[in-house]
Chains A and B, each alone.
Chain A
Amino acid sequence: MADGGASSMIMLITALLISGGVSAVLIGQWSEVLSVAQLEDRASLGESQVGVAIAGDPAMVAYDTTLNTITLYFVNTGEHALETSPYEIRINGDAPTSSSASVLPSGTSWEPGYLLEVTLTNASWNTTLSDGDDVAVFFIGISESVNSHTHSVTTYAEVRLHVA
């Protein structure tokens, strides 16, 4: 009887240990799965919190036929700062040969609500573009790190060139 009680106790303790160990492993693994899911969820959330749009009068985009420059403004419509470099812009699919950018109202960090004034130059535009032309503008840039993730931002618009 005493032997039977001891063996039962041993089985009970063994079962308890095995169950506890398995439980700990299962819960630990599940926690890791959830952590990864949460990380991905936050990344996805961060992506929805960054954005950019073209700013200013789309019917009067400054085009300087002497300098062959087009000046565009982009506004940070998200909740996080964007990088001022690198970025890519295409005018009717063509890349400018050079570009310069500055943040308005001031500073170097492109904060939410701030503008990025971009001046694009391409000598070939004086043969392909003229006052009053509608052109397609495509912009792609990147955000600063949001929850350890960097997101791309894009905008597309058709605008009319205006020679002052």
Chain B
Amino acid sequence: MGASVGVGGLIIGVSMLVVFSMAYQSIAMQIDSGLDRIEHAEQPTATFRIDDATLWEGAVVAVTISNGGAGYTAGGTVVASSGTGGFSATYTVNGTGAISSVVITSHGNYSASPTLTVTGGGTPTTNATFSVTLGNVIYANFTNTGSGAVHHDQMWLFVDGQNATGFSTAYSSSISSERWYSGETLALQWFNASVSGTERLALTVGSTTVAHILG
């Protein structure tokens, strides 16, 4: 009698262990699966807008110093004395007061190459002269209206549906960050000789594409 009870108890006990073991494995698998799905949960779809986009086909993209002149002092500005395109630049001078480098601060937009002069740079004994190169620049502002950050490597620019260009190759920033955070606006200055006569700018991020007519 006692042995039978013992055997019965043993069988029941082993059966319960088996059931517990199977239940444990099932729960462990479900937890693994759940964690996998959480880990690989889809990123939110990127949403953004192009605030504005403008193509300037007569921007001053380069300034060459033909003659640095003499007697200049620092602190002046290089401006265009012809045309109304809005060019301006800063410069540095060497020991003789000759202009040794020019840094463009506003590229402007001209139908013909403007003449550049220096203002506010002291009283030169010899005037500096410059030659300019006109080119195409696309100015655009993009705002991330989504909830997630987007890496610049995931962003692609198109002009008229062609010339797919990685955003990071066209965009330069004063900071090293390569992420486009929620609510952030990126200001693009894209110097691209091949965009003359184009009509639309498009930005693709993941499965989202937004286009804007070039003003």
Partners in one complex: yes
A interface list, Cβ under 8 A from B: 7-9, 11-12, 15-16, 19-20, 22-23, 26-27, 30-31, 34, 37-38, 41-42, 45, 48-49, 51, 53-62, 71, 73, 75, 77, 79, 104-105, 113, 115, 117, 162, 164
- Residues of A near B141 (CB, < 8 A) are none
Assembled-state Cα–Cα distance A21/B143 (Å) = 66
Q: A45-B37, A115-B164, A164-B160 are in contact. Are A38 and B29 (CB under 8 A)?
A: yes
Given A15-B11, A48-B42, A73-B164, A56 contacting B153 (CB threshold 8 A): no
Q: A37-B29, A56-B202, A57-B202 are in contact. Are A12 and B3 (CB under 8 A)?
A: yes
Q: Check A55–B164 contact: CB distance below 8 A.
A: yes
Complex Cα spacing A54 to B11, Å: 63
Q: Which of A12, A48, A55 contacts B204 (CB 8 A)?
A: A55
**Dominant secondary structure at the B interface:** helix
Smallest CB-CB A-B distances: 10 pairs: A8-B3, A60-B161, A53-B207, A57-B202, A57-B161, A19-B14, A55-B204, A113-B154, A56-B158, A15-B7
Given contact pairs A20-B14, A30-B22, A45 touches B36 in the complex (Cβ within 8 A): yes
Contact A71 B166 (CB under 8 A): no
Known: A41-B33, A57-B202. A104 touches B161 (CB 8 A): no
Contact B29 A79 (CB under 8 A): no
Instruction: Evaluate contact between A59 and B211: CB separation under 8 angstroms.
Output: yes
Bound complex: CA A7 to CA B3 (Å):
9
Instruction: Point out which of A20, A49, A55, A57 has the most chain B C-beta atoms below 10 A from its C-beta.
Output: A57
In the complex where A51-B207, A75-B204, A75-B207 touch, is A57 in contact with B25 (Cβ < 8 A)?
A: no
Whether A115 lies near B18 (C-beta < 8 A) is no
**B208 vs chain A, min Cβ distance (A):** 8
- Give chain A nearest CB distance to B215 CB in angstroms: 16
Distance in Å: Cβ of A145 to nearest Cβ of chain B: 16
Contact partner of B40 among A15, A22, A31, A79, CB < 8 A?
A79
Residues of chain A within 8 A of B26, CB atoms compared: 34
Q: B33–A77 contact, CB under 8 A? A: no
B200 at the interface (CB under 8 A from A): yes
Nearest residue in B to A27 (C-beta to C-beta)?
B21
The proximity string for B residues 190-215 relative to A, scoring 1 for CB distances below 8 Å and 0 otherwise, is 00000000011010101101010000
A105 — which chain B residues lie within 8 A by C-beta? 166, 169
Q: Please measure, in the bound complex, the distance between the C-alpha atom of A11 and the C-alpha atom of B151, giving whole angstroms.
A: 70
> Is B10 engaged at the interface, CB distance under 8 Å to the other chain?
yes
